[in-house]
């Protein structure tokens, strides 16, 4: 991992607690970083006067009394209140929030979409967001939205934050830079980024066009799942999450800040870059994570566990064991189980499953679920392998087999997912998706000996 090529005028720290310049390792660490020497107060948070004439300011990501609290202290050129003037409503009609139940769009069904195609129309992080489904209620901070983004244009002196949500970003094509108040995160396919609620940032295209998926989490923050009997290792290991080192801009140019707040978008005009945090410490940060470091655990004799065994991150709902959102990864792995139907089994699920393909072929759907594509198996809607997958898995010789060239994911929520108008009427819906189960045969004739 190398240090970033910084945007012009941006000054960055080197890593203070880790081995990599640009990023600091460790999920939920209490990080500290400074882009100018001595900018970070030591032994206290609020000195009477900060070094360099900086302002001290706390960003609280959880209630003060949450356990553990998540907050970050920033030392910045101007307090955030100077990056916020009067707000005007703006429209971003394709970025939709829950509740959004439409009378003429049927969400009940098994659905699959081809990749949303790129376009020549200039699209940035805000105008390029296409909501596919919403669930729960943004006003009460439960549920989520699933988006596809198409981005071919950098934000120029434009900044954004979501007061509604934490964003989990899953690139599928192209490379993006998130220049945030707390530093810079670059992501590409096979990596993810997590942008916390309230953090101001700008998104730049490093290599386009860019397409990917976003899970917008209205609820409690993502955390690492409890591993239970698995123990202390494997799945996503904390050290593989990377927080950025401090980086700031001292740039006085007309700028806009757009805020997503209670499902609506508002814009304010300011005279400088809000990315002016010179030093910070705390545990409320953006992250990047390389999905190739995810260590899957699975069946080694017969049967296989529920797909929850592949959970990367989980966002609790308040009901123990029942997630607001699970982010689940299906990646390369060995299949070795004996006398076992190895693909995902047929099932109905109280949880609602939205899947995306990052690359390769998914084992339950060898055809039709293509990279960039999305599928939805909603609350209590039956689904499972198509006929080819069933026949293949039922009749193959069960030697050790490596699933190669495959990376798909699932955003799974306890709430039913409602299709947006875009998903139901504009996105490339595969009308024939449910036909994939048509040719499944009745094999039962009352006589034994079919095994
Ligand atoms: Fe499923």
Do the annotations mark residue 383 as ligand-binding? yes
In 3D, which of 239, 171, 195 has the Cα closest to residue 20? 239
Number of domains in the chain: 1
Q: Is 394 a member of any domain?
A: yes
CA distance 42 to 26: 21
**What is the distance in A from the centroid of ligand 1 to the CA of 347?**
6
CA distance 309 to 225: 10
Do the annotations mark residue 20 as ligand-binding? no
Do the annotations mark residue 362 as ligand-binding? yes
In 3D, which of 330, 334, 401 has the Cα closest to residue 359? 330
In 3D, which of 148, 158, 150, 165 has the Cα closest to residue 179? 158
Q: Is 59 a member of any domain?
A: no
Q: Active-site residue 4, yes or no?
A: no
Give pLDDT, residue 449: 84
**What is the distance in A from the centroid of ligand 1 to the CA of 349?**
7
Ranges under pLDDT 70 in the chain: 1-4, 14-21
Active-site annotation holder among 20, 147, 304, 377? 304
Give pLDDT, residue 18: 41
φ and ψ of 53, to 5 deg = 75, 25
User: If DSSP codes are grouped into helix, strand and coil, which group holds residue 64?
Assistant: coil
Q: Is 364 a member of any domain?
A: yes
Element (H, E) at 413: strand 401-413
**What is the distance in A from the centroid of ligand 1 to the CA of 315?**
19
Contact 216, 147 (CB under 8 A): yes
Give pLDDT, residue 14: 65
Q: Is 368 a member of any domain?
A: yes
Give pLDDT, residue 1: 38
Give pLDDT, residue 20: 41
Give pLDDT, residue 19: 38
Give pLDDT, residue 440: 95
Say if residue 331 is preceded by a cis peptide, omega within 30 of 0: no
φ and ψ of 403, to 5 deg = -80, 110
Q: Is 127 a member of any domain?
A: no
User: If DSSP codes are grouped into helix, strand and coil, which group holds residue 244?
Assistant: strand
Domain range enclosing 387: 294-436
Element (H, E) at 389: helix 387-395
CATH number of the domain within which 302 lies: 2.60.120.10
φ and ψ of 207, to 5 deg = -155, 115
Q: Is 417 a member of any domain?
A: yes
Give pLDDT, residue 398: 95
**What is the distance in A from the centroid of ligand 1 to the CA of 380?**
10
Q: Is 298 a member of any domain?
A: yes
Q: Is 158 a member of any domain?
A: no
Do the annotations mark residue 111 as ligand-binding? no
CA distance 57 to 44: 13
């Amino acid at each position: 991992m190398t240090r970033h090529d910084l945007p012009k005028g941006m000054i960055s720290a080197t890593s203070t607690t880790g081995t990599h310049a640009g990023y600091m390792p460790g999920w939920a660490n209490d990080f500290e970083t400074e882009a100018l020497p001595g900018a970070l107060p030591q032994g206290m948070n609020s000195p009477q006067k900060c070094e360099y004439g900086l302002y001290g300011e706390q960003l609280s990501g959880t209630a003060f009394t949450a356990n553990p609290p998540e907050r970050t202290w920033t030392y910045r050129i101007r307090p955030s209140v100077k990056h916020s003037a009067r707000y005007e409503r703006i429209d971003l009609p394709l970025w939709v929030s829950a509740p959004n139940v439409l009378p003429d769009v049927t969400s009940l069904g098994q659905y699959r979409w081809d990749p949303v195609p790129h376009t020549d129309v200039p699209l940035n992080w805000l105008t390029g967001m296409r909501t596919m489904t919403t669930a729960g209620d943004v006003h009460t901070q439960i549920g989520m939205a699933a988006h596809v983004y198409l981005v071919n244009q950098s934000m120029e002196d434009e900044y954004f934050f979501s007061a509604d949500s934490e964003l989990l970003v899953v690139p599928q094509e192209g490379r993006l830079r998130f220049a945030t108040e707390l530093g810079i995160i670059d992501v590409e396919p096979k990596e993810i980024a997590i942008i916390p609620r309230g953090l101001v940032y700008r998104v730049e295209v490093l290599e386009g066009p860019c397409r990917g998926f976003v899970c917008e989490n209205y609820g409690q923050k993502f955390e690492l799942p409890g591993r239970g009997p698995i123990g202390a290792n494997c799945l996503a290991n904390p050290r593989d999450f990377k927080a950025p080192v401090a980086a700031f801009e001292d740039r006085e140019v007309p700028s806009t800040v757009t805020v997503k707040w209670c499902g609506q978008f508002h814009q304010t005009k300011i005279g400088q870059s809000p990315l002016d945090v010179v030093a910070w410490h705390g545990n409320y940060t953006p992250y990047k994570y390389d999905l190739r470091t995810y260590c899957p655990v699975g069946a080694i004799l017969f049967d296989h566990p529920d797909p929850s065994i592949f959970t990367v991150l989980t966002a609790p709902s308040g009901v123990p064991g029942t997630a607001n959102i699970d982010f689940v990864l299906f990646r390369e792995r060995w299949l070795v189980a004996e006398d076992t139907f190895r693909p995902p089994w047929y099932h109905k699920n109280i949880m609602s499953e939205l899947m995306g393909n990052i690359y390769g072929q998914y084992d339950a759907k060898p055809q039709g679920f293509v990279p960039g594509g999305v599928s939805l198996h909603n609350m209590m809607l039956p689904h499972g392998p198509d006929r080819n997958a069933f026949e293949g898995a039922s009749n193959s010789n069960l030697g050790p087999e490596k699933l190669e060239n495959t990376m798909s994911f699932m955003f799974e929520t306890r709430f039913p997912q409602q299709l947006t108008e875009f998903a139901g009427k504009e996105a490339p819906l595969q009308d024939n998706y449910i036909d994939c189960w048509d040719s499944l045969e009745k094999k039962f004739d009352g006589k034994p000996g079919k095994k």
